[in-house]
């Protein structure tokens, strides 16, 4: 018996870890919100999957309000977000960050969260907070 599909919010989906994760998760039947600065660049991938499996959204992770509004749009489209995979950036601040939303929601605390103050995961936590 396989696990039900999860809804993944992925930044930096154009290339590298973000793109690889998006494609792997889609092949495995998960739902993906793929974000990047130029969504039209993912048109070939978007043609392969229905909108109820892949949602491509514009996101510049240096803009706090854009992070919040994009996350809200993604949440509205799928009704939930299970995992945030933040791979956007230039590689100078470390590797990809992954946040399991359910773990934070169930614990009721963010004391163990080690994320930079203006990062996608920390802003998502403030959204679900």
Domain tally for the chain?
1
- Look at the alpha carbons of 65, 77, 129, 119 in this order and tell me if their dihedral is positive or negative: negative
For residue 87, give its domain range: 7-128
| d(C-alpha 38, C-alpha 57), whole Å | 8
Phi/psi at 84 (5° precision): -110, 125
Taking a C-beta distance cutoff of 8 angstroms, is the pair 9, 35 a contact? yes
Q: Is residue 1 part of a domain?
A: no
Q: What is the pLDDT of residues 31-89, one digit of tens each?
A: 999 999 999 999 999 999 999 999 999 998 888 888 889 988 999 999 998 888 888 76
Work out the average pLDDT over 95-109. Answer: 47
- Look at the alpha carbons of 87, 88, 93, 98 in this order and tell me if their dihedral is positive or negative: negative
Residue 6: closest CA among 28, 30, 34: 30
Domain with residue 41: its CATH number is 3.40.50.720
Q: Is residue 97 part of a domain?
A: yes
Q: Is residue 2 part of a domain?
A: no
Q: How confident is the model at residue 110 (pLDDT cuts 50, 70, 90)?
A: very low
Instruction: Return the DSSP state at 39.
Output: G
Q: Is the pLDDT of residue 126 over 90?
A: no
Q: Is residue 92 part of a domain?
A: yes
- Look at the alpha carbons of 119, 120, 124, 127 in this order and tell me if their dihedral is positive or negative: positive
pLDDT, residue 67, reads 85
Q: Is the pLDDT of residue 10 over 90?
A: yes
CB 38: neighbour CB atoms within 10 A?
A: 8
What is the model's pTM? 0.74
Taking a C-beta distance cutoff of 8 angstroms, is the pair 99, 88 a contact? no
Q: Which residue has the higher pLDDT, 116 or 43?
A: 43
What mean pLDDT value characterizes the chain? 77
pLDDT, residue 99, reads 52
């Amino acid at each position: 018996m396989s696990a039900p599909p999860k809804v993944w919010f992925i930044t930096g989906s154009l290339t590298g870890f973000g793109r690889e994760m998006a494609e792997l998760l889609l092949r495995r039947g998960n739902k993906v919100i793929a974000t990047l600065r130029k969504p039209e660049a993912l048109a070939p991938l978007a043609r392969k999957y229905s909108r109820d499996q892949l949602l491509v959204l514009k996101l510049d992770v240096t803009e706090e309000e854009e992070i919040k509004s994009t996350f809200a749009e993604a949440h509205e489209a799928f009704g939930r977000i299970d995992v945030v995979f933040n791979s956007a950036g230039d590689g100078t601040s470390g590797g990809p960050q992954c946040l399991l939303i359910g773990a934070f929601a169930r614990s009721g605390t963010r004391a163990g969260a080690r994320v930079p103050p203006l990062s996608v995961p920390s802003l998502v936590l403030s959204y679900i907070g």
